[in-house]
A and B are shown apart, each in its own frame.
Chain A
Amino acid sequence: MFSYCADPETLSTFFWFSCYLTNGVHWSFYLSFLKVLGLLAVTAPVALSFGFAGAMAARSQFLPLSWLGKAYIAVVRGVPDIAFFLFFVIALDQGFEWIRHKVLCPEWTDPIRQGNDFLVCQSAKLPLGTAPEWVHETYGFALAVITFSIVFGAFAANVLFGGMRAVPHAQLETAEAYGMTRRQTFWRILVPQMWVYALPGLSNLWMVLIKATPLLFLLGIEDIVYWARELGGTKTSRFTDYPHGDWRMWYFLFLLIFYLGMTRVSEIGLERLMRRLSHGQATSGGELLRKETTA
């Protein structure tokens, strides 16, 4: 990157590092941090909407729907999330390909599962064999996002379901007394009030989501864990201008510090949000705020 980097062997320690840390592969490493942040930015709202739908299903008057919602929550709780990640990535991929196969190649008669193979016709492959590299990467990333959203959506559903039940019943009765329909009560009274009850659970979930992002590595994404392993490994001077020993420990120490920073920032941010939402609420938090301002 810098002009003096042409011959790294002659450089002093400081300049050597300034060149080493800005070479091409390191930019890929830094870019992969954006991937993690991107995953968080996309997954959080999607999972929240999945969760909202799930909570509405669990509240539903229609029994099978509410059982489905509750059963799903229970299963996700009892099984390690990493198993879900590994499962959904393959299952979703095969599911999509199966649907496309049924639509695009209706004349195909061979069974799709032959022994240990999963065979669909060429035009049903996802992404297509001819697609450029970035399509493959985007498809992999999209699968990861959907997987994360399904798992964390179930978590969020449980939290939101609890939040909805925590809203004081008198509020809903008052709404009914004013002649609001079920739908109106739900959207105008219940939903605006439930957030303050759901927020402690949701902020906990956000922390868990942050800490689950390194699992992207297991889904085959070139994320920060992948690059830390790649870059940290021993490099000899035959393959790189910057030979070094096994530095993987230091790279992972850096990741550890990165995540600690993320956690700390989130903690502070969520605390502020909680203060905001507690304002004027009939909770102990809201009461504390009221005393602070009047005292």
Chain B
Amino acid sequence: MSCIQTIQDYALRSIGFGERLLPKTDFTLCEHFTLIGSGMIWNIYFGIMAMVTGFFLATALAVGKASPNKWLRKPAEWFIFLFRGSPLFIQFFFAYFFFLSLKKAYPMFDAFTSAWLGALIVLFLNTSAYSGEIFYGALRSIPKGDIEAADAYGMTGWARFRRIVWPTMLRLAWPAYTNEAIFVFQSTTLVFFSAFPAWQQRGDALYYASYFADKTFNPFIPYPILAFYFILLTLVIVWGFGRVNKRLNRHLPAAHRSKMRFRLNLAR
């Protein structure tokens, strides 16, 4: 079977198009690359959706945590502690079984037990908490002069937040936020290894990589391919976030612009 044929059969396998059965014997390198790449669709879907939705909640959480009002601050603090203080792996398990019991009582929660929604909700809440903490840190390090200048111009409330506080917060938080984005994409590999079932063997990249490793008992081919895809993805993220970083810093004199550091944090 030619490689073109394999790509036609398996490139969209992870979302249910193409050949129904996975290859069983005599795995070619082409099959490895195609199926694991096909699984990346899920990783990218989870990553992008969680980042986009999480961004808004993260902003709200950061503002909440920095608020002087106890009724706003305490819930935000607890939310962030809850999701940052426990392993994502356990959160997936808990959420899945929680949705499962919810489904028993109310059938309308059916969709929540499948990965595309249930796991996405967990990832959304999890990344909101981590990004919220990053944004909160940035919020606290906004230069005092910026706020005072806004006050001097008579800006208050929403206008001050939208025009001064929020852009500065994003600018300061951006390098750390890039790091968080990389972590979110990496933690999407946990989804199908926690309780969420891969329906009809439609899984993510790691799911297929471990499928190959289990079948061939040779970890030295599928995992490096997976690593290749993820390093590629990481480079794309760093590039994309670097573009945004440039835009966020465009008003600053060239010497003051914070260059995106490529020495990124290892730990979340």
Residues of A within 8 A of B193 (CB): 82, 218
Contact B85 A249 (CB under 8 A): no
Please report whether the interface of chain A is mostly helix, strand, loop or mixed according to DSSP: helix
**Cβ distance A217 to chain B, nearest Cβ, rounded Å:** 8
Residues of A within 8 A of B101 (CB): 246, 249
Measured between alpha carbons, how far is A87 from B212 in the docked complex, in Å? Answer: 12
B90 within 8 A of A: yes
**Residue interface mask A213-230, B partner, CB < 8 A = 1:** 111011000000100110
Which residue of chain A lies nearest to B88 when distances are taken between CB atoms in the complex?
Answer: A211
**Cβ distance B36 to chain A, nearest Cβ, rounded Å:** 11
Contacts A90-B217, A205-B267, A252-B90: A83 and B227 contacting too (C-beta < 8 A)? yes
B109 within 8 A of A: no
Contact B89 A215 (CB under 8 A): yes
Contact A225 B90 (CB under 8 A): yes
Contact A117 B85 (CB under 8 A): no
Cβ contact of B86, chosen from A78, A79, A118, A259, cutoff 8 A: A259
Contact B85 A82 (CB under 8 A): no
Which residue of chain A lies nearest to B215 when distances are taken between CB atoms in the complex?
Answer: A116
**Cβ distance B178 to chain A, nearest Cβ, rounded Å:** 13
**Cβ distance A252 to chain B, nearest Cβ, rounded Å:** 4
Contact A79 B93 (CB under 8 A): no
B219 within 8 A of A: yes
Cβ contact of B230, chosen from A73, A83, A117, A201, cutoff 8 A: A83
Question: Considering only CB atoms and an 8 Å cut-off, how many residues of chain B contact the other chain?
Answer: 43
Contact B218 A78 (CB under 8 A): no
Contact B266 A225 (CB under 8 A): no
Which residue of chain A lies nearest to B230 when distances are taken between CB atoms in the complex?
Answer: A79
Contacts A80-B206, A83-B209, A249-B97: A225 and B89 contacting too (C-beta < 8 A)? yes
Identify which of residues 61-107 in chain A touch chain B, using a CB-to-CB cut-off of 8 Å: 73, 75-83, 86-87, 90-91, 94
Question: Considering only CB atoms and an 8 Å cut-off, how many residues of chain A contact the other chain?
Answer: 51
Contact B94 A256 (CB under 8 A): yes
Contact B266 A77 (CB under 8 A): yes
Contact B189 A252 (CB under 8 A): no
Contact A73 B266 (CB under 8 A): yes
**Cβ distance A232 to chain B, nearest Cβ, rounded Å:** 7
Identify which of residues 214-264 in chain B touch chain A, using a CB-to-CB cut-off of 8 Å: 215-220, 223, 226-227, 230-231, 234, 264
A113 within 8 A of B: yes
Which residue of chain A lies nearest to B193 when distances are taken between CB atoms in the complex?
Answer: A218
Question: Could you list which residues of chain B lie within 8 angstroms of chain A, going by C-beta atoms?
Answer: 25, 81-82, 84-91, 93-94, 97-98, 100-101, 104, 186-187, 189-190, 193, 206, 209-210, 213, 215-220, 223, 226-227, 230-231, 234, 264, 266-268
| 4 closest cross-chain pairs (CB), A and B | A263-B85, A80-B186, A249-B97, A252-B94
